[in-house]
A = this chain, B = another copy of it.
Amino acid sequence: MTVTITAFEQSPDRGRGLARDMRVRWALEEVGQPYDVHLLSFAAMKKQAHLSLHPFGQIPTYEDGDLVLFESGAIVLHIAEQHAGLLPNEVGARARAIMWMFAAVGTVEPPIVERSAAYLMERDKPWYAERLPMLDGRVCAQLDRLSRHLGDAEWLDGAFSAGDLMMVHVLRRLESSGLLQDYPNLVAYIARGEARPAYKQAFADQLAVFEAASAGK
């Protein structure tokens, strides 16, 4: 039974690998699990066929036989539990790796998404310029603390784990923001993630989808 995931037919980031299917692709590559991809238009994501898999109408989903999952964090954790390589075996280290997955999606990502959403939806509003320093400040409050925790370490807690996979991908959304330049250790951390062969393969595969869609226009 081959795993099937869903992804954007036309990536809104133009193939930069910022959509959340990238996390699942990367995890599947790390554990050496082949997968199929079902591409969805924005219209198809809101139709009943997809909503029956993902009630919030987003990507990615993960299908393995009868099991259907959504939420990239939950999918990556499920993959990490089914295959070796993304979670330590020791109970405490394993719990801490999962803790960093929750920190990525629950603590670090929300102010990053909020800043992006304001740019997308409010940049023509008269208040945008006055709000932007506050939005940047909320992002940087988390980056300050994450950077201080990471220090000179290679990964967040010992060896590379699903926690790093999630955190690196969350941070990547800031690559064009200018906000990372004050955190050279976070820039190096992201680069370490991007240098992994599994990351490179996943990135190439999602880029190929975008390039094929663009060529077909």
Show the binding face of A for B, using Cβ within 8 Å. 51, 55-58, 66-67, 69-71, 73-75, 77-78, 81, 91-92, 95-96, 98-99, 101-103, 105-107, 109-110, 113-114, 121-122, 125-127, 131, 134, 142, 145-146, 148-149
Contact = CB atoms under 8 A, between A and B. Distances in A.
Contacts of A81: 95
A56 to B, nearest CB: 5
A204 to B, nearest CB: 27
B110 A70 contact: no
Contacts of A55: 145-146, 148-149
A148 B131 CA distance: 34
Copies in the complex: 2
B101 A74 contact: yes
A163 to B, nearest CB: 9
A69 B99 contact: yes
Given A67-B92, A77-B102, A106-B109, 11 more contacts: A55-B146, A67-B96, A69-B95, A74-B95, A74-B101, A74-B102, A74-B103, A78-B95, A81-B95, A105-B105, A126-B127
A34 to B, nearest CB: 20
A44 to B, nearest CB: 16
